[in-house]
Every structure is written in C-alpha cells, then in structure tokens.
Structure 1
Amino acid sequence: MPTLSLPIVSTCSVSGCSYNHDHDCQAGAITVTGSAASCGTYVGGDAKGGVDGGTAMVGACHRTECVHNADLECSAEDISVGAGKDPADCLTFSAA
C-alpha cells in the first residue's frame, strides 16, 4: 500500500480558532469542506486544542471542483487558511 503524503497547513491567520497557536495550526489534520472551502476543523472559543509543536495537515477535501483535489484528497504542496466567506477558509482553493 503506497504512503500518502498529506499537504501541510503552512499558515493560519484565524486567531479566533482553538487550534491556532501563534498563527500555526496545531490540529493533527483538518478537513476542507462547505460551499466556501471552509476549514471544517475550525473551533471558535477560548479553549485551546491540538498538540503544541505539531504541524497540521490536510486530511480530506470535500471540494471536488478545486484544481488541487484528487479523489477527495488535497494535492497542493501546502495550503493557507484564513478569513474568507467564512471565518476560516482554505485560501489555496482554486476552482477548476
């Protein structure tokens, strides 16, 4: 079985997310979903989540019309997350 190389979340500017620690996403993996390529892992609030020192990856992408989507997996080298139509969107999203 081949090893899947998941793209990293290189930047996250969503300071109100529980997984954001100093503009680095500390979730193990995120899911990109929704009509605005939103980060489905976004959790607003004061609680802190994730693992300090970790690097989040894109675990799944539901946006089949994105040029980086291959079989519901992200094929971009890395992605950026920030405010868009939703508080936390995949800013690397690009419609085919």
Structure 2
Amino acid sequence: MTLNHDLAHVTECNVTGCGYNHDGCHASAITIGGVGDQASCATFIPLNAKGGLDRVVTTVGACQRGDCVHNESLECAADSIRVGAAAASATAGCLTFEHR
C-alpha cells in the first residue's frame, strides 16, 4: 500500500480558472485522466468560488493514464507533477505526462 506522503505532489498549477487554485492547488488530491495526447486534471472545476484545504499539500490521488511512463498500478510514481493549461482547451492538463 502506498502511503499518502509517498504520492506525487503537485508542485505547480497555473490554471487560474479552477476553484481549487488560489496561489497553488488547494485540493487534497487530484485525479489525472484524459485521452490521447492530453492528460488532464479530472479534479479541475471552473468555479469562481474558491475551495479546498487551507494550506497547499496536494498530491496525485489517482492516475487513469496507464500509458504514462510515471504510472505504476494507477498511481503516479513521479516525484512531483506540474499542472497547466491544456493545449486545446480551457481545462487543466498534466504537464508531466509522458507516453510510454
């Protein structure tokens, strides 16, 4: 079993349109999903209201991208990830995603 402190941390998120992002991601954990060349933050929520934890400790709770080099048993094995604007949309993307 993976302990929470062993999970990949979100070290950067520059998607200002997300309700969890206010000076960094404040969700307790995010899920990475998406299809094709786009790995997306499935936790992204386009709200003006800001939510989440008081302090930034965000981890990747689950990764649905079995085709990523960092994916081990649907967990992210990268030391950390970066989240940013997805290339083709107004959503959040995993900038650390790499195809196997």
TM band (smaller chain): over 0.9
- Label 1:15 to 1:37 Cα distance change in 2 as closer, same or farther (>3 A): same
Q: TM-score, normalised by structure 2?
A: 0.89
Q: What amino acid maps onto 1:25 in structure 2?
A: C
User: For 2:51 and 2:19, how far apart are their aligned partners in 1?
Assistant: 5
Q: TM-score, normalised by structure 1?
A: 0.92
Give the paired residue count. Answer: 95
How far apart are residue 2 of structure 1 and its match?
5.9
Partner of 1:47: 49
User: For 2:96 and 2:62, how far apart are their aligned partners in 1?
Assistant: 14
Residues 50-90 of structure 1 show CA distances to partners (whole Å, capped at 9, x for unaligned) of 01213110000000010000000000000000012342000
Structure 2 stretches of 5 or more lacking a match?
A: none
RMSD (Å), alpha carbons: 1.3
Identity of aligned residues (%): 51
- 1:16 equivalent to 2:27? Answer no
Query: Which contiguous aligned blocks of 4+ residues in structure 1 show a shift greater than 3 angstroms?
Result: 1-4
Structure 1 stretches of 5 or more lacking a match?
A: none
- 1:91 equivalent to 2:95? Answer yes
